[in-house]
C-alpha cells in the first residue's frame, strides 16, 4: 500500500525503523579513521530520525525519547571544529608567507583536539547510539494498542508540514526584521525539520524533490552565515597580543563573507522571493489533502 494511504501508526513505524537502520549504518562508520564524512552523515541521520520522531510521536501513542536529540547535541562541538578546520585550511592556502605561521599554529591546535576527540568520543557516541536505538525499537514494537491515531499518514503529514511551513515563514520574516544570528539559526533549524519530513514523500508527491532541493540550498546558505558568526565569536574570545594582527585579518575576512551571504539571502530568499519555497509547499499540501 502507498505510504500516504496507510494508517499513520503503520506508516510512521515503518518510517522510523528505516531511519533508525540508516542511522545505525552511519554510527558504524564512526570508527573508520579514513571516513572523513562519518560524523557529518551520522549527525544528519540523527536529525532526520529526531525530526520525524518528534513530528509523529502522537500517531504512535508513545513518548518521545530524548536520547537521539541529546546525542546529536553532544556532537555539535566536534562538527563545529571540523567546519572551522576546513575554513582555516582554505585561508592557509590563500595566505601569504607572513601569515602562514600563525595559521599553521591555529590549524595544528584544532587538529590535535580533533584527533583526541575522534579517538575517545567517536566510539563513545557509537556505543551510546546502540543503547538509544535499542530503546527506541522497543518503544516501536510495544506501542500501546488502541490509542494511536488512525488517520491516514497523508493527513497527519500534511498537518505537520503546514505547521513547519508557517514557522519557517515567520522565521525568514524575523531575519528580515532583525539581522542577528539567533534568527538565522532558528530559521535554519526549522527549514531542516521541514526538509526532513518532506524527504520520505519524494517518491509519492509531485514537486517534493525540487522543494527539498530548494530547502537544502537555503539550509546551506543559513548554515554558512551561522558558521561565520561562530567564527567571529571564537576569534573574539581568542584575542592574543602576539597574534592580534592575524586574528584581526581573519575577523575582517569572516565579517566580509557574512555580509556577502546576507546579501545573497536577501536577494533570493526573503520577502517576495520566499514564494519560491512556499508556493511549491502549498501545492504539496494540496496533494496531501486529496
Query: What is the chain's pLDDT, residue by residue, as a tens digit (290 residues)?
Result: 588 889 999 999 999 999 999 999 999 999 888 888 898 999 999 999 999 999 998 888 777 678 888 988 888 878 877 777 877 787 777 766 555 666 777 788 777 877 777 778 888 999 999 999 999 998 888 765 544 457 899 999 999 999 999 999 999 999 998 878 899 999 999 999 999 999 999 999 999 999 999 999 999 999 999 988 888 887 766 655 445 666 777 788 889 999 999 999 999 999 999 999 999 999 999 999 88
Query: How far apart, in Å, are the Cα atoms of 240 and each of 109, 112, 168, 245?
Result: 15, 20, 40, 9
The dihedral through the CA atoms of 222, 228, 234, 237 has a sign that is negative
Q: Which of 86, 83, 87 is nearest to 253 (CA)?
A: 87
pLDDT recorded at residue 240: 55
Task: Provide the 8-state DSSP code for 240.
Answer: -
Question: How many helical (H) and strand (E) elements, i.e. helices and strands, does the chain have?
Answer: 10, 0
DSSP assignment of 72-126, as one string? HHHTHHHHHHHHHHHHHHHHHHHS-HHHHHHHHHHHHHHHHHHHHHHHHHHHHHH
How many other CB atoms are there within 10 angstroms of residue 20's CB atom? 20
| Cβ-contact 9, 59 below 8 angstroms | yes
Query: How far apart, in Å, are the Cα atoms of 36 and each of 20, 26, 40, 118?
Result: 22, 12, 8, 11
Which residue's entry shows cell 503529514?
157
Please name the residues in contact with 138: beta carbons below 8 A apart, sequence gap of 6 or more: none
- pTM of the full predicted structure? 0.85
Cα angle vertex 111, ends 79, 259, to 5°?
55
Amino acid at each position: 500500500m502507498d505510504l500516504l494511504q496507510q494508517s499513520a501508526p503503520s506508516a510512521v513505524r515503518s518510517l522510523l525503523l528505516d531511519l533508525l537502520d540508516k542511522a545505525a549504518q552511519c554510527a558504524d562508520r564512526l570508527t573508520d579513521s579514513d571516513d572523513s564524512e562519518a560524523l557529518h552523515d551520522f549527525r544528519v541521520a540523527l536529525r532526520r530520525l529526531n525530526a520525524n520522531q518528534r513530528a509523529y510521536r502522537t500517531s504512535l501513542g508513545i513518548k518521545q525519547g530524548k536520547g537521539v536529540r541529546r546525542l546529536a547535541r553532544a556532537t555539535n562541538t566536534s562538527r563545529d571544529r571540523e567546519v572551522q578546520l576546513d575554513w582555516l585550511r582554505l585561508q592557509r592556502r590563500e595566505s601569504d608567507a607572513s601569515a602562514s605561521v600563525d595559521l599553521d599554529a591555529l590549524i595544528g591546535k584544532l587538529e590535535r583536539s580533533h584527533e583526541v576527540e575522534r579517538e575517545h568520543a567517536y566510539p563513545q557516541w557509537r556505543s551510546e547510539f546502540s543503547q538509544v536505538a535499542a530503546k527506541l525499537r522497543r518503544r516501536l514494537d510495544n506501542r500501546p494498542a488502541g490509542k494511536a491515531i488512525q488517520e491516514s499518514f497523508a493527513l497527519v503529514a500534511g498537518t505537520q508540514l503546514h505547521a513547519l511551513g508557517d514557522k519557517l515563514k515567520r522565521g525568514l520574516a524575523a531575519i528580515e526584521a532583525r539581522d542577528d544570528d539567533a534568527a538565522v539559526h532558528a530559521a535554519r533549524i526549522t527549514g531542516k525539520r521541514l526538509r526532513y519530513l518532506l524527504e520520505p514523500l519524494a517518491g509519492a508527491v509531485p514537486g517534493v524533490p525540487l522543494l527539498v532541493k530548494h530547502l537544502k540550498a537555503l539550509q546551506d546558505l543559513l548554515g554558512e552565515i551561522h558558521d561565520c558568526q561562530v567564527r567571529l565569536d571564537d576569534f573574539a574570545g581568542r584575542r592574543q597580543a602576539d597574534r592580534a594582527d592575524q586574528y584581526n585579518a581573519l575577523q575582517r575576512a569572516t565579517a566580509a563573507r557574512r555580509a556577502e551571504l546576507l546579501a545573497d539571502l536577501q536577494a533570493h530568499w526573503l520577502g517576495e522571493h520566499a514564494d519560491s519555497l512556499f508556493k511549491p509547499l502549498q501545492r504539496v499540501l494540496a496533494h496531501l489533502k486529496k
